[in-house]
Amino acid sequence: MRVSISQIKEMKQRGQRIAMLTAYDYTTARALDEAGVPMLLVGDSLGMVVLGYESTVSVTMEEMVHHTKAVTRGAKQALVIADLPFLAYHLSTEQALRNAGRFIQEAGAQAVKLEGGVKMAETVRRIVDCGIPVMGHIGLTPQSINQLGGFKVQGKTASTAVDLIRDAEALQDAGAFAVVLECVPAPLARLATERLSIPTIGIGAGVHCDGQVQVVSDLLGLFSDFVPKHAKQYVRLADLIKEAATSYSADVTAGSFPTAKESFAMDERVVEEVRRQLQDKN
């Protein structure tokens, strides 16, 4: 049975912490799903860690739908949340509804995520009214990177901290089922977590959030351009990939791959017959 929105909300009530990871393809989604991760986010971070863009602002709806389809084919149990990319929900409520609807109807996701608090509350309300669960995202919102002036911790002053709490409450009032807090001081995330009845999912927001989300490429040590302070590499897959590729190249060059074990045999008599027939034709 797939994890439901009400189960995620109940986890907060029971004090059970919620793990969420990003996923961008079928194979990884399948492994994360089999590992029992309850929520998979097809984050627009895909632009940076999979497609090699400089920021998430270049990511398009088409790219998100393509990757969401791959993830939903792999995830049988996890709740799959698709990230509405930059300018895919700002132009009008109609645009936001159409794009949120595409993720559900066309790509098979169960929920969508969007960035912004008070200013986005009405859009969240309208999407939720259509029956589409919405996860909010406040604090460091990478789609506004040009306005924020870089990947900086948010809510460090009293007034920006109060604004962040107001944003979180506006999302909850609008019907969001959870809210991501990205790069906010741990005491502020704790305050938000205590004030909200919906789960807070932190990334760089300390241990007091109801759940945590990480970019899977950071967790696996796959993305080596930079490692954010809030990330923990559980393995260093990029190094393992380099090692494997170096050994493979050396084997091919030396003629030691493939061996008989990786090859398909053929009856020697058939081979002889083929040779004979080819000679006849010459």
Site residues for ligand KIV per CB under 6 A: 22, 41, 43-45, 83, 137, 180, 182, 203, 213, 215
Give the nearest distance from C-beta 188 to ligand KIV in angstroms.
17
Give the nearest distance from C-beta 6 to ligand KIV in angstroms.
22
| Nearer Cβ to ligand KIV (108/228) | 228
Residue among 62, 169, 182, 272 flagged as catalytic: 182
Give the nearest distance from C-beta 59 to ligand KIV in angstroms.
9
| Nearer Cβ to ligand KIV (45/172) | 45
What HEC string does the chain produce?
CCCCHHHHHHHHHHCCCEEEEECCCHHHHHHHHHCCCCEEEECCCHHHHCCCCCCHHHCCHHHHHHHHHHHHHHCCCCEEEEECCCCCCCCCHHHHHHHHHHHHHCCCCCEEEEEECHHHHHHHHHHHHCCCCEEEEEECCHHHHHHHCCCCCCCCCHHHHHHHHHHHHHHHHHCCCEEEEECCCHHHHHHHHHHCCCCEEEECCCCCCCEEEECHHHHCCCCCCCCCCCCCCCCCHHHHHHHHHHHHHHHHHHCCCCCHHHCCCCCHHHHHHHHHHHHHHC
Residue nearest to ligand KIV (CB): 43
Other CB atoms within 10 A of residue 108 CB: 15
Give the nearest distance from C-beta 118 to ligand KIV in angstroms.
19
Give the nearest distance from C-beta 271 to ligand KIV in angstroms.
54
Give the nearest distance from C-beta 260 to ligand KIV in angstroms.
45
Give the residue among 36, 12, 10 at the shortest CA–CA distance from 200: 12
| Nearer Cβ to ligand KIV (63/182) | 182
For this structure, is 262 an active site residue?
no
| Nearer Cβ to ligand KIV (233/257) | 233
| Nearer Cβ to ligand KIV (126/137) | 137
189-193 long-range contacts, CB within 8 A, separation 24+: 191/161, 191/165, 192/164, 192/165, 192/168
| Nearer Cβ to ligand KIV (147/263) | 147
Active site residues: 182
